[in-house]
C-alpha cells in the first residue's frame, strides 16, 4: 500500500515568509495554522514503516517533528524511519534540509550527477558523514529501487524523467559544477509500489507543459504539480520581484499555456498543486483563483495531508 504525506506545500520562503507582508503572508499570520505552509516536500512509503523523502526543504526539522509517521520508534534512543532522500533539483528549498540530517543516522541521497556535483562542490554538505550517508547517482529514464538502510529492497520503483526547467538561481552567471550540457537540473519522478502497481507523479518545478510531459502523466492516479504562481508576471505585479514565473523555471497555474488549461484534457484521478508561492492568490480559500482551481479539479493541500493509494 503506497502512502504519501505532504510535508510542505509552499515554494521557497514558505507561507508566511519571514520578511514578506503580502496579502497571503498577512492572512497566514492572522489565521494561524490554517493558511500556513512550509516549503515543498513529500514523504512516501510502501510499508508504513520505512519512508523516503522527495527533496529536503529548509523546514525539514519542523516537518519531521510535525509528522508522527516520521518520528523515532518508541523506546529507541537514536532512530529514524527515513531511509532516503530523492532530490529533484538543487535549489535551496530542495537541498538545505539535508543539513538538518547530519546526526549520523544512515540514509541514502539519490540525485542526478549534476545535483550531486553541486553538493560535492560545497564543503558544508560534508557534515553528512559518508560512512552513514551514501550519495547514489540516478539517471534520466533509468528506474531504480530505493533501498532500506540495511540494503533490503523497499518494494518501490522510482523513475526519474527530465522536465523543462533551469539550474539553481544561485548558479546564474557561474560555471555549473556538473557541466553545462544535458538535462538533470530539473527532474520529475514517477513512484510506483511494485506489489500493487499504484503510482504517483511528483513535478514540483516545470517551466513548460510539453506534449511529451502530458503523455507521461496521462492516466495517472495522482500528480503533484508545480503551482508556484497563478499568473506568469505575478511577482512583478505584486511588487515582490522582477522575474516572471517562467524565467524562474515555473509554469503558471492559469492562462492558455498554464497548468490548468494544458492538463485539462488528461485523465488524472487526483491533481494536486505543490510548491505554491506566498504571492499566489490560490492559497486563499475564499479567492476566485482558489475557486477556479478547485472547479478545474485541482487541490491545494495543507501540510500534513496523508494520501493512501
Residues contacting residue 185 through CB under 8 Å, at least 6 positions apart: 89, 90, 112, 114, 115, 165, 166, 167, 168
Return the pLDDT at 116.
97
What mean pLDDT is reported for the chain?
A: 95
Kindly report which listed range (54-58, 62-66, 130-134, 225-229) carries the lowest average pLDDT score. Answer: 130-134
Read off the pLDDT band of 111 (50, 70, 90): very high
pTM as predicted: 0.97
The total of structural domains in the chain comes to: 1
Is the CB of residue 13 less than 8 Å from the CB of residue 28? no
Q: Name the residue with cell 539550474.
A: 167
Is the CB of residue 102 less than 8 Å from the CB of residue 128? yes
The answer, yes or no, to whether residue 123 has pLDDT greater than 90, is: yes
Return the pLDDT at 137.
98
Q: Name the residue with cell 492568490.
A: 281
- 31/203 Cα distance (integer angstroms): 29
Read off the pLDDT band of 99 (50, 70, 90): very high
Residue 162 burial class via C-beta count within 10 angstroms: exposed 0-12, middle 13-18, buried 19 and up? middle
Alpha helix locations (H) across 184-287? 211-217, 234-237, 259-262
On the CB side of 106, CA atoms within 13 Å amount to 8
Burial 277-295 (b: 16+ CB within 10 A, else e): bbbbbbbbeebebbebbee
pLDDT digits (tens, 9 = 90+) for 46-61: 999 999 999 999 999 9
Mean pLDDT of 169-185: 88
- 294/271 Cα distance (integer angstroms): 10
H or E element that contains 3: strand 3-8
Read off the pLDDT band of 229 (50, 70, 90): very high
Mean pLDDT of 215-224: 97
Calculate the CA 86 to chain-centre distance. 10
H or E element that contains 23: helix 23-31
Return the pLDDT at 270.
98
Return the pLDDT at 181.
80
Nearest to 220 by CA among 191, 196, 195: 191
Return the pLDDT at 243.
87
The answer, yes or no, to whether residue 166 has pLDDT greater than 80, is: yes
pLDDT digits (tens, 9 = 90+) for 235-260: 888 888 888 889 899 999 999 999 99
Task: List the CATH number of the domain containing 119.
Answer: 3.60.15.10
The answer, yes or no, to whether residue 182 has pLDDT greater than 90, is: no
Mean pLDDT of 60-84: 96
Nearest to 84 by CA among 24, 140, 156, 142: 156
Please report, rounded to a whole number, the percentage of residues in the chain having pLDDT higher than 90.
87
Q: What string of H, E and C letters represents the secondary structure of 25-44? A: HHHHHHHHHHCCECECEEEE
Between 171 and 218, whose confidence is greater? 218
How many C-beta neighbours within 10 Å does residue 106 have? 16
The answer, yes or no, to whether residue 34 has pLDDT greater than 90, is: no
How many C-beta neighbours within 10 Å does residue 145 have? 12
pLDDT digits (tens, 9 = 90+) for 11-32: 999 999 999 999 999 999 998 7
- 43/85 Cα distance (integer angstroms): 9
Return the pLDDT at 14.
97
Residue 91, CA distances (Å) to 39, 57, 119, 220, 250 in order: 12, 9, 11, 27, 13
pLDDT digits (tens, 9 = 90+) for 272-290: 999 999 999 999 999 999 9
* Residue-range definition of the domain harbouring residue 121: 3-308
Residue 42, CA distances (Å) to 87, 100, 234, 302, 303 in order: 11, 16, 26, 12, 9
Amino acid at each position: 500500500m503506497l502512502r504519501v504525506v505532504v510535508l510542505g506545500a509552499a515554494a521557497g520562503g514558505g507561507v508566511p515568509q519571514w520578511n514578506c507582508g503580502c496579502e497571503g503572508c498577512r492572512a497566514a499570520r492572522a489565521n494561524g495554522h490554517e493558511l500556513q505552509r512550509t516549503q515543498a516536500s513529500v514523504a512516501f512509503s510502501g510499508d508504513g514503516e520505512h519512508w523516503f523523502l522527495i527533496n529536503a526543504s529548509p523546514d525539514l526539522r519542523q516537518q519531521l517533528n510535525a509528522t508522527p509517521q516520521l518520528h523515532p520508534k518508541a523506546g529507541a534512543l537514536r532512530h529514524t524511519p527515513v531511509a532516503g532522500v530523492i532530490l529533484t533539483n538543487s535549489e535551496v528549498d530542495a537541498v538545505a534540509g539535508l543539513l538538518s540530517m547530519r546526526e549520523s543516522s544512515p540514509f541514502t541521497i539519490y540525485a542526478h550527477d549534476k545535483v550531486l556535483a553541486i553538493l560535492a562542490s560545497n564543503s558544508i554538505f560534508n557534515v553528512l558523514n559518508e560512512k552513514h550517508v551514501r550519495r547514489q547517482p540516478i539517471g534520466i529514464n533509468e528506474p531504480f529501487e530505493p533501498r532500506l538502510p540495511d540494503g533490503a529492497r523497499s518494494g518501490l520503483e522510482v523513475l526519474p524523467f527530465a522536465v523543462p526547467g533551469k539550474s539553481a538561481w544561485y548558479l546564474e552567471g557561474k560555471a555549473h559544477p556538473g557541466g553545462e550540457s544535458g538535462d538533470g537540473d530539473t527532474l520529475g519522478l514517477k513512484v510506483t509500489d511494485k506489489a500493487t502497481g499504484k503510482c504517483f507523479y511528483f513535478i514540483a518545478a516545470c517551466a513548460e507543459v510539453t506534449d511529451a510531459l502530458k503523455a507521461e502523466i496521462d492516466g495517472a492516479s495522482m500528480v503533484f504539480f508545480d503551482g508556484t504562481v497563478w499568473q506568469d508576471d505575478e511577482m512583478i505585479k505584486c511588487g515582490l520581484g522582477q522575474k516572471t514565473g517562467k524565467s524562474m523555471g515555473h509554469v503558471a497555474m492559469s492562462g492558455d499555456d498554464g497548468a490548468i488549461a494544458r492538463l485539462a484534457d488528461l485523465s488524472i484521478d487526483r491533481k494536486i498543486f505543490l510548491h505554491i508561492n506566498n504571492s499566489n492568490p490560490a492559497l486563499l480559500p475564499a479567492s476566485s483563483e482558489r475557486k477556479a482551481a478547485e472547479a478545474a479539479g485541482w487541490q491545494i493541500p495543507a501540510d500534513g495531508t496523508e494520501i493512501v493509494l
